[in-house]
Amino acid sequence: MKSTLNHIIIALVALAASYSPFASADDLVVTIVEPYIDFRTGPASEYPIFHVAEQGEKITVVKKKTGWYKAISIDGKEGWVSAEQLGKTLKPNGEVLYVPTGTFEDYGNRNFELSVFGGVLENVTSMTVATSWNWTGNLVAEATYTQALGDFSENKLWSVRLQHHTFPEWKLSPYLTIGAGQISTRPRSNLVQSGDEERKSDLYEVGGGLRYYIARNVTVKLEYRRIAALTDRDDQERLEEFRLGFAVFF
Amino acid sequence: MKLRKIAPQVIDKLNKFTVSFAALLLLCAGLSQAHAAQPAIASIQDDNAQERPPALIDPNVERREIDESDIDTENFELGVFGGFMTIEDFESDAVVGATLAYHINEHFFLEAAYAETTAGQTSFEKLSGGAPFLTEEERDYRYYNLSLGFNINGETFLTDNLVFNSDFYLLMGAGSTEFGGDERFTVSVGAGYRLLLTDFWALRVDVKDHIFNSDIIGVEKDVHNLAFTLSTTFFF
């Protein structure tokens, strides 16, 4: 009874914890061609090397955590191998195993990117998260969410944008953006007696940015955008935002 | 050596699970394959089709080429936490929340957190017996933030043979706090300790300060709201 319960718990935990349980059905077995491969006790370069697998030995790769791979040697030792060392092993068909290390070339082949920005929207500190999808290399589709909580009002903006990277092959690459979305503004409660007076309006934005590839899977971005909020009053509201942030890609 | 001491029981259990799970998957895959293959078999072997039941598992499954991209990654960390939070001027209360982190590399991670607690009364409200500063609804304290974490990797030696990977980390971020009828831009700084019981299951202790500019009690000032929390997280 207890062991059934244990199994259920383990099954639930494993289900919850494994992103793709199908991957564990088959294992990746690679052959070492370099003189040796280091096995570490944890997934970081600071962890000590406790075992060395030698040339010609086969190791089974089980899982991956950031740039580290958990491997099992033929004598059952389990340890963490770096992406750099694993990238010099051979697959069963004799080909060199391709291991992405987040190089600039990998950046060109990315699918998704997650960005975080801090900036200034009309003198108010703003925070932005964005997720983008690399459509053609030149064209990137992006969804962004920004909050700017000021002394007088709380502003929340979302927009769907299209970026155009004219020279995506440059490490420092400029791009243009165009998008549409919504802005909601709520005055501070101590300024308005009647309470919530939230206003929602559509917005259009144009802007540009600079992207710089730093290292591994990280890029830095500097962006500027002009926003036109179509308010129900007579005049449009124009806003400006500068922001600086970084992005990781998958 | 250290890994070897902990691993066998866990592996044994996981193996049992993997085998049963794989069998289940195989059965499911077999069923769906048999289902899909049925019309083809029927058209080729018109006469025999009715007499022979369709094969549950196709013995001629081609071996798939396994590549790096098929490996299970564990870069996301999902967790729930509970603890207590002291809200400046408004007593302290229990706090519960959830976190989702993405580990960029062995040192840096991005973490989003959301939590809720309830503010108590200020000393003034209690002693004077006068009108309260806030309504009951306005005492609900909710916050979220996005932080960049820096891991200092290490190991924790509980006994000579019981060793766990662990790390001490620093967190710095920004977000929003909804309290007293307003949302305020909030800066958060903190530190924590993560004990990895297995590769994918960890226990964490966090101390985080949430700082924002407030004028709820009349004077405008930066308030510090400290949260002491214990959490359990899973990597996937």
The domains of chain A, with CATH numbers, are: 26-99 (2.30.30.40), 107-249 (2.40.160.20)
Query: pLDDT tens, A181-227?
Result: 999 988 877 665 555 578 889 999 999 999 999 888 889 999 999 99
* B19 and B86 belong to one structural domain: no
Strand partners, B193: B168, B205
What's the mean per-residue pLDDT of chain B?
80
Average pLDDT of the segment spanning A97-107 = 85
Residues B124 and B216 both lie in one domain: yes
- B47 with B145, same domain: the answer is no
Residue B226 lies in a domain: yes
pLDDT value of residue A105: 86
CB of A218 within 8 Å of any CB in chain B? yes
Q: Is pLDDT at A250 greater than 50 in this prediction? A: yes
Q: Find the CB nearest A127 among B104, B154, B174.
A: B174
Closest-CA residue to B74 (of B201, B233, B204, B235): B235
Give per-residue pLDDT as tens, B20-48. Answer: 655 555 454 444 444 444 443 334 444 44
The pLDDT assigned to A6 comes to: 52
Q: Are B182 and B140 in contact (CB under 8 A)?
A: no
Under DSSP, is residue B221 helix (H, G, I), strand (E, B) or coil?
strand
Instruction: List pLDDT tens digits, range A105-144.
Output: 888 888 899 999 999 998 899 999 999 999 998 999 999 9
Contacts of B3 in chain A (CB under 8 A): 41, 50, 77-79
Q: Which of B44, B66, B88 is the C-terminal boundary of a domain? A: B66
Q: How many domains does chain B have?
A: 2
Residue A19: pLDDT over 50: no
Whether residues B14 and B41 share a domain: the answer is yes
Percent residues over pLDDT 90 in chain A: 50
Do B8 and B115 lie in one domain? The reply is no
Q: Given this model, what pLDDT does residue A90 score?
A: 87
Q: Are residues B93 and B141 in the same domain?
A: yes
Which residues partner with B145 through β-bridges? B113, B175
* Interface touch B67/A116, C-beta < 8 Å: no
Determine the residue among B102, B172, B185, B217 to mutate to test chain A binding: the one whose Cβ has the most chain A Cβ atoms within 10 Å: B185
Mutate to test the interface with A, among B12, B17, B194 (most CBs of A within 10 A): B17
B172 falls within a domain: yes
Across the interface, which of A7, A26, A149 has its CB nearest the CB of B17?
Answer: A7
Q: Could you say which of B66, B99, B118 is where a domain stops?
A: B66
What domain range includes position B17? 2-66
Q: Examine the domain organization and report whether B145 and B87 are in the same domain.
A: yes
Q: Return the number of other C-beta atoms located less than 10 Å from residue B178's C-beta.
A: 18
Per-residue DSSP letter, B33: H
How large is the average pLDDT for residues A26-40? 88
Range list of β-strands (E), A48-152: 49-54, 58-65, 68-72, 78-82, 89-90, 112-121, 124-134, 139-149
Mean pLDDT of B185-193: 95
The reply to whether B55 and B105 lie within a common domain is: no
Give the rounded percent of residues in chain B with a pLDDT score beyond 70. Answer: 73
Torsion over CA: B98, B231, B95, B146 (sign): negative
Evaluate whether A67 touches A103 at the Cβ level (below 8 Å). Answer: no
Burial class from Cβ neighbours inside 10 Å (0-12, 13-18, 19+) for residue B87 reads: buried
Is B161 part of a structural domain of the chain?
A: yes
Q: Has residue B209 been placed in a domain?
A: yes
Chain position carrying tokens 């997934």: A43
Instruction: Tally the C-alpha atoms within 13 A of residue B15's C-alpha that lie toward its C-beta.
Output: 6
By Cβ distance, the residue of A27, A44, A65 closest to B66 is A27
Q: Are residues B111 and B50 in the same domain?
A: no
Whether B151 and A44 lie within 8 Å, measured CB to CB: yes
Match 């013995």 to its residue by tokens: B59
What pLDDT is stored for residue B40 in this prediction? 38
Nearest by CB to A99, from B18, B68, B148: name it.
Answer: B68
pTM: 0.76
Q: What is the DSSP letter of A96?
A: B
A7-21, A23-37, A99-113, B98-112 — which is least confidently predicted?
A: A7-21
Q: Mean pLDDT in chain A? A: 85
| Binding-face residues of B in 35-74 toward A, CB within 8 A | 64-68, 70-74
Quick one: pLDDT at residue B60?
A: 59
Average pLDDT over residues A29-55: 91
* Rounded-to-integer distance, Cα A78 and Cα A130, Å: 38
Which residue, B66, B91, B112, sits at the end of a domain?
A: B66
Chain A hits for B183, Cβ within 8 Å? 147, 149, 154
Same domain for B45 and B131, yes or no, is: no
Contact by Cβ (8 Å): A110, A249: yes
Chain B residue with minimum CA distance to A27: B66
Q: How sure is the predictor about B2, in pLDDT bands with cuts at 50, 70 and 90?
A: very low
**CATH, residue B114:** 2.40.160.20
**Test the B interface: residue of A127, A145, A184, A191 with most B CBs within 10 Å:** A127
What is the per-residue pLDDT for A24? 45
Least confident of A18-27, A168-177, A226-235, B31-40: B31-40
Q: Report the run of H or E that residue B15 belongs to, with start and end.
A: helix B2-44
Does the residue B71 lie in any domain? no
Tokens in use for A139? Answer: 């064209």
Gap from A28 CA to chain B (nearest CA, Å) = 6
Instruction: Give me the residues of A, 111-130, that contact B with CB < 8 A.
Output: 114, 116, 118, 125, 127, 129
pLDDT at B234: 95
Do B146 and B83 share a domain, yes or no?
A: yes
- Residue B142 binned pLDDT confidence (cut-offs 50, 70, 90): very high
pLDDT-based confidence at A10, cuts 50/70/90? low
Instruction: Give pLDDT, residue B10.
Output: 53
Whether A66 and B106 lie within 8 Å, measured CB to CB:
yes
Q: Is residue B54 part of a domain?
A: yes
pLDDT at position B69: 80
Nearest to A149 among B20, B185, B199 (CB): B185
B171 with B85, same domain: the answer is yes
**Which has more pLDDT, B208 or A198?**
B208
B195 domain-assigned: yes
Q: Tell me what the mean pLDDT of segment B188-207 comes to.
A: 95
Q: pLDDT class for B9, splitting at 50, 70, 90?
A: low
Task: Classify residue B135: in a domain, yes or no.
Answer: yes
